[in-house]
Amino acid sequence: MLLALRRWLGLSASRAGAGVVEDAILDRKAQKWVIEPARVGLIARAEELWRYRRILWFFASRRIKERYEDKTLGKFWLFFQPLAPIFISTMIFGSMLQVPSDGVPYFLFFLAGMSCWRIFERGVIRVTRSLDQNRALIKKVYFPRLIAPISSVAPSLSEFGVLFTLLVLTCIYYFVKDGVFYLRVGPQLLVGVLAVVLAAFLSISVGLWTTVMQTRHKDVQFSIRYFMQLWHYVTPVIFPLSELLKLLPPQLHFIAYLNPMSPVVEMYKWGVLGIGHVSAVSVITGLAMMLAIFSGGVVYFNRSEAASVDRL
Amino acid sequence: MDNLVAEGLGKCYILSRDSEGKSARSFWRRLRSPLGDSESTSKTRDFWALRDVSFRVEPGTILGVIGPNGAGKTTLLKVLARVITPTTGRVVGVGRVVSLLELGAGFDPDLPAHDNILMNAAILGIPRAEAQRRIKDILEFAEVEQFVGSPLRHYSSGMYLRLAFSVAIHMNPQILLADEILAVGDQAFQERCLAKVAELGQQGLTVLFVSHDMDAIMRICNRVMWLHQGAVRRLGDPEEVVDEYQNAIWSQADIAQSERGRRSNRLAEILNVRLMSSGGRDIGGAPISEDVYIKTRFRTVKANMTVKCALDLSTKGQLIFRTADTEARPLPEAGVYEALAKIPRDLLAELPYIATVSCIFKREGEAKEYPLVVYNALQFLVYGTETPDSLPGSGRLDRVGFIAPRLEWTVRQEAYAAGA
């Protein structure tokens, strides 16, 4: 902690302008370091992550930029990529199947569920690839490896931004058309924000497991897509939770309850549109599941870090 | 006070028979017996890439690390750079470590130079403002100012390396890990690298310098560590260690089996062909302004023989010249001999050359000849040490031709004109 603090002080002081002198001081107080085979403890890891937080931003912006840089259509992709599947799915599920939608227009219902779900879905897929993707750097220089998975969710959040903008525009459209403003403006919106954070958090938690497995079995990056599709159907995105429970045979109901994404999506819809079923039980179960997946993931990642790098 | 201490460092890789247990069959086997019945699952083999490596280095030491391929040089540097975790032992160090592993530092090939510099600075904990200030110096030293905006994957390997080196030395390291920085490209820049490393060493920078170029090692290192099969074989004074290393290497015949030609017959065997500096060192490249020797080592098994050696020099697929010894030299007794062909300075151009070596052996009093030939026995690069400003067109790229001999020029006024 002291180290981090000293770094932080040194860093902010040099921002004030006395660059060269500051740098000499930084160098003079060069820290002693030790390399040992023993695994670094989790607290030390967290401190280290904090010291390296600047690269987290660097990696995150990198991951977003690479989505449109060098592409002929440029930033168009930033908008098109998240929007295309939404329109296609709405056509299928909304117009053709006549799925119930908790009393709001289906497009809005679906858009709300999807924008939250996609943070998670795309996040897991990206985090899974993260160690492989940063191989060139990981094999040449040292930085806390956790930075690679954590920063990989950034594009999912940028996609969410696009979808949320669309959500707001749709609400305005319905306000003009029907005179009802579906978007909730008020403190409840904070629950929506919390749901977004939880979705990103859960995608990192799951990704910590899959990215390590990916270094061992390259098959993971394919299978994860199908796995996420399955997960998608047991999460109340296309149907409301009530419909989902009707569809699932009773002996499979536990899936709907144990699925930590299900309360997250419901929280989001409740916070943003005021629909959905948020019960204390489901939220607590969901949070407990999340914490279990996360802490297990961190321990697993930390334990297999060295071996994973050897295998890259 | 030492600023880098390694104690009993070891790195073990576990190699398993069926390619790291990746195949589906071994996967299922492991699933079925998760506790691992050792009979079927652990057909593994330990491989120690490093074993019990210990050394202490004081600030200002330039420690050369030498050894044949696979001796663990790169593994050692990767452990010190914290890229891989050691299996045994520990390292204690003081100060910022900057590493140049293999080709270049940790660069993202899709990013332009500017972003890569900032990212490297961030990884090393250098404030952004400070890094911004140094960008100009870095680009200038690397001579890549025109290409700041293009992603690194468009860079030539030489440009990439120059940038990597420049970034590394501008990050104020206390410890620099340099792996084969001389392996790629542009000799003039390599000269500058060596000079810079030597200069920084005098200012107290600790350098671990891995190279196969014994000349470079001798020039800048003040200590040398010889690694052999992962362990330290010798550690000490450069002169002694390098000499011993070269003797050890040269004592084995090491011209690869795959090379064409006939390199042994019933009278003799060609052991190896090397490029040697006039100081007797094994070198990888020839400075234009120095005499170098092509040394052919061969072993004879009979007494009272003679040998006549010849040499073909080619570049870019063109034979430049063939030259042979003027007379047959006597080999009075069986043993190991070396034939030296001196290549005078200021003869070859700044190009890579390939030498083909042949020797014709004869027994005294017999007419029958026993020829040996090794095609492409030696490849070497000739490099300039001065800036080439005296040539037509003046730029390096304008140089053409397969050789660049320095001729004697005189300019004088013609006698009758002077009289008129």
Tens-place pLDDT, residues B43-75? 567 888 898 999 999 888 899 998 887 888 888
CA distance A200 to A290: 11
CA distance B159 to B22: 38
pLDDT at A15 over 60: no
CA distance B280 to B377: 19
pLDDT at B86 over 50: yes
Mean pLDDT of chain B: 80
Tokens representing A267? Answer: 């929280």
Nearest CB to A141; choose among B106, B109, B130: B106
pLDDT at A202: 95
pLDDT digits (tens, 9 = 90+) for A160-178: 998 899 889 888 988 998 8
Under the banding of pLDDT at 50, 70 and 90, the label for residue B25 is low
Under the banding of pLDDT at 50, 70 and 90, the label for residue A277 is confident
Nearest CA distance, B94 vs chain A (angstrom): 4
Under the banding of pLDDT at 50, 70 and 90, the label for residue B336 is very high
CB A1, CB A51: distance < 8 Å: no
Which residue of chain B has the CA closest to A145? Answer: B83
**Do residue B127 and residue A310 have CB atoms under 8 angstroms apart?**
no
Which residue of chain A has the CA closest to B105? Answer: A140
CB B191, CB B212: distance < 8 Å: no
- Where is pLDDT greater, at B290 or A199? A199
pLDDT at A266 over 50: yes
- Where is pLDDT greater, at A95 or B79? B79
Instruction: Confirm or reject contact between B103 and chain A (CB < 8 A).
Output: no
Which residue of chain A has the CA closest to B8? Answer: A36
Instruction: Confirm or reject contact between B128 and chain A (CB < 8 A).
Output: yes
**Do residue A52 and residue B123 have CB atoms under 8 angstroms apart?**
yes
pLDDT at B26: 60
Mutate to test the interface with B, among A7, A141, A218 (most CBs of B within 10 A): A141
Instruction: Confirm or reject contact between B48 and chain A (CB < 8 A).
Output: no
Q: Could you tell me how many CB contacts below 8 A there are between chain A and chain B?
A: 121
> Which residues make Cβ contacts (< 8 Å) with residue A44, sequence separation at least 6?
none
Query: Within a 13 Å sphere around the CA of A187, how many CA atoms are in the beta-carbon half?
Result: 0
Name, of A50-59, A63-72, B176-185, B248-257, the range with top average pLDDT: A50-59
Which residue of chain A has the CA closest to B100? Answer: A140
Name, of A14-28, A124-138, B275-289, B386-400, the range with top average pLDDT: A124-138
pLDDT at A27: 46
The sign of the dihedral angle between the CA atoms of A131, A136, A139, A144 is negative
pLDDT at B349 over 80: yes
pLDDT digits (tens, 9 = 90+) for B150-181: 888 888 877 888 888 888 888 888 888 888 77
pLDDT at B388 over 50: no
Nearest CB to A54; choose among B22, B122, B129: B122
**Do residue A55 and residue B84 have CB atoms under 8 angstroms apart?**
no
pLDDT at B22: 54
Mean pLDDT of chain A: 81
Nearest CA distance, A309 vs chain B (angstrom): 7
* Alpha-carbon distances, residue B132 vs A19, B35, B173, B326 (angstroms): 11, 54, 17, 63
CA distance B8 to B53: 5
Q: Would you mind telling me the total number of residues written for chain B in this entry?
A: 420
**Do residue B133 and residue A140 have CB atoms under 8 angstroms apart?**
no
**Do residue A55 and residue B82 have CB atoms under 8 angstroms apart?**
no
Region for B8 from its dihedrals, namely left if φ exceeds 0, alpha if ψ lies in -120 to 50, beta otherwise: left
CA distance A163 to A182: 16
Chain B residues within 8 A of A312 when measuring between CB atoms: none
Instruction: Confirm or reject contact between A98 and chain B (CB < 8 A).
Output: no
Q: What 3-state class would DSSP assign to A259?
A: coil
CB A48, CB A144: distance < 8 Å: yes
* Alpha-carbon distances, residue B2 vs A237, B51, B141, B244, B305 (angstroms): 62, 22, 30, 27, 57
Instruction: Confirm or reject contact between B20 and chain A (CB < 8 A).
Output: yes
Chain B residues within 8 A of A34 when measuring between CB atoms: 90-93
**Do residue A136 and residue B107 have CB atoms under 8 angstroms apart?**
yes
Instruction: Confirm or reject contact between B118 and chain A (CB < 8 A).
Output: yes
Tell me the percentage of chain A whose pLDDT exceeds 70: 88
CB B174, CB B94: distance < 8 Å: yes
Which residue of chain B has the CA closest to A32? Answer: B94
Tokens representing B319? Answer: 């034979």
Nearest CA distance, A206 vs chain B (angstrom): 21
pLDDT at B103: 60
Instruction: Confirm or reject contact between A28 and chain B (CB < 8 A).
Output: no
Nearest CB to A19; choose among B82, B122, B133: B133
Over range A199-223, report the average pLDDT. 90
pLDDT at A46: 86
Which residue of chain B has the CA closest to A308? Answer: B84
Tell me the percentage of chain B whose pLDDT exceeds 90: 12
**Do residue A27 and residue B92 have CB atoms under 8 angstroms apart?**
no
Under the banding of pLDDT at 50, 70 and 90, the label for residue A292 is very high
Instruction: Confirm or reject contact between A2 and chain B (CB < 8 A).
Output: no
Name, of A287-291, B11-15, B27-31, B83-87, the range with top average pLDDT: A287-291
Chain B, 184-203: which have a CB under 8 Å from a chain A CB?
A: none
**Do residue B85 and residue A37 have CB atoms under 8 angstroms apart?**
yes
> Which residues make Cβ contacts (< 8 Å) with residue A99, sequence separation at least 6?
A93, A106, A238, A239, A243
pLDDT at B128 over 70: yes
- Where is pLDDT greater, at A16 or B399? B399
Chain B, 77-96: which have a CB under 8 Å from a chain A CB?
A: 79-96
Tell me the percentage of chain B whose pLDDT exceeds 70: 83
Q: Which of A217, A56, A4, A176 is nearest to B28 (CA)?
A: A217
> Which residues make Cβ contacts (< 8 Å) with residue B259, sequence separation at least 6?
B374, B375, B376, B377
Which residue of chain B has the CA closest to A138? Answer: B83
Query: Within a 13 Å sphere around the CA of A67, how many CA atoms are in the beta-carbon half?
Result: 21
Question: What DSSP designation does A95 have?
Answer: I
Under the banding of pLDDT at 50, 70 and 90, the label for residue B323 is very high
The C-alpha torsion from B154 through B158 and B160 to B164, rounded to 10°, is -170
Chain B residues within 8 A of A217 when measuring between CB atoms: 22, 27
CA distance A90 to A77: 20
Region for B75 from its dihedrals, namely left if φ exceeds 0, alpha if ψ lies in -120 to 50, beta otherwise: alpha
**Do residue B172 and residue A23 have CB atoms under 8 angstroms apart?**
yes
**Do residue B130 and residue A30 have CB atoms under 8 angstroms apart?**
no
CA distance B184 to A249: 66
**Do residue A37 and residue B89 have CB atoms under 8 angstroms apart?**
yes
pLDDT at A11: 40
Instruction: Confirm or reject contact between A34 and chain B (CB < 8 A).
Output: yes
Nearest CB to A55; choose among B105, B123, B174: B123
pLDDT at B395: 45
pLDDT at A289: 92
pLDDT at B307: 93
**Do residue B85 and residue A51 have CB atoms under 8 angstroms apart?**
no
Tokens representing A6? Answer: 């000293």
- Where is pLDDT greater, at B2 or B300? B300
Which residue of chain A has the CA closest to B127? Answer: A11
pLDDT digits (tens, 9 = 90+) for A99-140: 777 778 888 888 888 889 999 999 999 999 999 888 878 888
Chain B residues within 8 A of A137 when measuring between CB atoms: 106-108
pLDDT at B23: 58
Over range A25-40, report the average pLDDT. 66
pLDDT digits (tens, 9 = 90+) for B92-121: 888 888 888 766 567 877 788 888 888 888
**Do residue B91 and residue A35 have CB atoms under 8 angstroms apart?**
yes
Over range A6-20, report the average pLDDT. 39
CB B112, CB B152: distance < 8 Å: yes
**What is the bridge-based pairing of β-strands B369-383 and B285-287?**
parallel
Residue A18: how many CB atoms within 10 A of its CB? 11
**Do residue A35 and residue B129 have CB atoms under 8 angstroms apart?**
no
Which residue of chain B has the CA closest to A24? Answer: B172
Which residue of chain B has the CA closest to A65? Answer: B111
Instruction: Confirm or reject contact between A143 and chain B (CB < 8 A).
Output: yes
Nearest CA distance, B13 vs chain A (angstrom): 8
Instruction: Confirm or reject contact between B99 and chain A (CB < 8 A).
Output: yes
Instruction: Confirm or reject contact between B208 and chain A (CB < 8 A).
Output: no
